[in-house]
Amino acid sequence: MKRLGRIFGSLIAVALTVASLQAAAETRLGGRDFNHMTTGYPLSGGHATAACESCHVGGVFKGTPKNCDGCHAVGKRVLATPKSNAHIVTDAPCDSCHFNTSTWLGARYSHGTAMPGQCTSCHNGRLSMSKPATHNTGNKATKSCDSCHRSSSWLPASWNHTGAIGACSSCHISSPEVSIPNRKPAGHAATTLKNTLECDSCHSYIGWYPNRFKHNTGGACSSCHNGALAVGKPGIHPATTDECNQCHYSTLAWLPALGAKPANHIPYNAGTSCTACHIGVGVVARGAALHAYVAPPCKTCHNKPSPYLGVTGTRTLGSHEGSNTSQDCITCHAVQYNQWNNP
């Protein structure tokens, strides 16, 4: 009889255990079916697979922290991975650098509030990494990190020329602060022009190429375009002693070029270039813009028959409004001439 009682008691214990396990399973299943979005704290990444009780300790739901350091810190009620001893010294919220809840890796500080020129307030070797030992001379030692580096990554790095003062050659010749690929190469000084001009006469701060001479300084074309300093006239070029800009009106390309001056071209003042009147291709200046380069007497062009002008704009002196052949147009048309030449 006692043995029967022990067997019956064991069966009851087993039944209670099974019922307890089923209840626990149903509770856990019910928890997984709960829509956590309704709490205002959506579960993602590692939070989505964590057991409920790892955050809701002792079955307490109310007051569970929602900010990262409410759990991910030493001495908190909820046990979660805290900052390592190697972590930079900071009191910024975790999500200032860690952008997802799946991994701690790939962290990057948002420099949105960082002030230009104040990099060392953090990059001082205590709060965050500082300059390496290779940055111990010149601008690398004294200038702020953002003079060369971007906030997204250390590389690629390039000197920010904003506000740069002084000649390019003070750095880009032999300065140890400039890498060898960014110094003037030995073959660059093949001509006097390349050897004496400053870098920015051809190059921009953005890159070494394209490297076209800027032509923003005065001077005769032939002083450079003589075949030694810069490309000169090719063998097939028409024979002429005129300066290049008499026909080549653009500094970007040799072509298109203005054609040769016709035999009946209007006479013009000495030293006047084609581009003074021929503004682009097929466009000729008129009025004051044209007459500024044409000297009296007017009858050189305006006396009919004129080898330079057609019927329009010409009159026959001696039979025009009581004129005589010894006069010039300006005798009567001085007002109009002055208007043209003094607009």
SS3 278: strand
Average pLDDT over residues 146-166: 82
φ/ψ region of 271 (left if φ > 0, alpha if ψ in -120 to 50, else beta) reads left
Q: What is the pLDDT of residues 263-307, one digit of tens each?
A: 788 888 887 877 788 876 677 888 888 888 888 889 999 999 888
How is residue 38 written in tokens?
Answer: 């309704």
Query: So where are the chain's domains?
Result: 55-109, 164-233
Q: How far is CA 28 from the centre of its chain?
A: 56
pTM, to two decimals: 0.44
Residue 70 CB neighbours (<10 A): 15
SS3 84: coil
pLDDT recorded at residue 28: 45
CA–CA dist 117, 146 (Å, integer): 7
Q: What is the pLDDT of residues 216-226, one digit of tens each?
A: 877 889 888 98
CA–CA dist 134, 261 (Å, integer): 64
278 phi and psi angles, rounded to 5 deg:
-90, 95
Q: How distant, in Å, are the alpha carbons of 82, 88, 100 from that of 105?
A: 14, 14, 9
pLDDT recorded at residue 342: 56
Q: What is the pLDDT of residues 228-245, one digit of tens each?
A: 888 899 988 888 888 888
CA–CA dist 73, 76 (Å, integer): 6
